[in-house]
Amino acid sequence: MEDIIIIFLLSLLAITAIAIIFMRNMLSVIMLGSIYSLLSAVIFVVLDAVDVAFTEAAVGAGISSVLFLSAFAVTGKRQVLKQKNKLIAFVTVSLTAAALIYATSDMPYVGDPNAPVQTHVAARYIEQSGSEVGIPNMVTAVLASYRGFDTLGEVAVVFTAMIAVLLLLLRREEEELDREK
């Protein structure tokens, strides 16, 4: 039953993505992008990744869409959506996808409890994190304790991105001031 739900949701996701290619209207592209994020959040719930699901729903579907819509409002509504070099792009993408699909042929099946990804460090997180860190949510335990430095790096990235955005958006005002002089 769960398999059928996952296959149905993944197919919906693929249809949404294909629809984005053929859209001519920028607003519908943005809205379909938002639907795409929300659908992937639902898939994360079915795949047991609840923390990822609510982050994706809040950040991916929420904040991203707000960012896209505000950038769309600033850049103007008369965007022309054109595609060029369709054939070259299609061939490149098909070759890449074919190579990757060939590579999946020796991957362990989804849900296999004996797959290499399940048998190394994950077992320790599941068995020990309750007594070592003392909170029931393993994802939080790994994020904030075992891999705290990763999270510190993430904060550094977000901070750098914020500075970059501010610099890019404020630079224009200086140019305007120069022109007024």
Partner 1 sequence: MLSGLYNYWIAILLMAIGFYIVIAHSNLFTKMIGLNIFQTSVFILFISMGKVDGGTAPILSEAYTAYSNPLPHVLILTAIVVSVATTAVGLALIVSINRRYKTLDEHEIEQQELEQE
Residues within window 83-112 making contact with partner 1, judged by CB under 8 A: 83-86, 88-90, 92-94, 96-97, 100-101, 104-105, 107, 109-112
Q: Is the dihedral of CA 38, 43, 49, 50 positive or negative?
A: positive
Residue 172 makes contact with partner 1 by CB under 8 A: yes
SS3 49: coil
Least distance from partner 1 to the Cβ atom of residue 115, Å: 7
Instruction: State how far the Cα of 19 lies from the Cα of 69, in Å rounded to an integer.
Output: 19
Residue 27 makes contact with partner 1 by CB under 8 A: no
C-alpha distance from residue 130 to each of 10, 103, 113, 119 (Å): 33, 37, 21, 18
Residue 1 makes contact with partner 1 by CB under 8 A: no
By CB under 8 A, name the one of 18, 35, 42, 128 that touches partner 1: 18
By CB under 8 A, name the one of 1, 8, 35, 52 that touches partner 1: 52
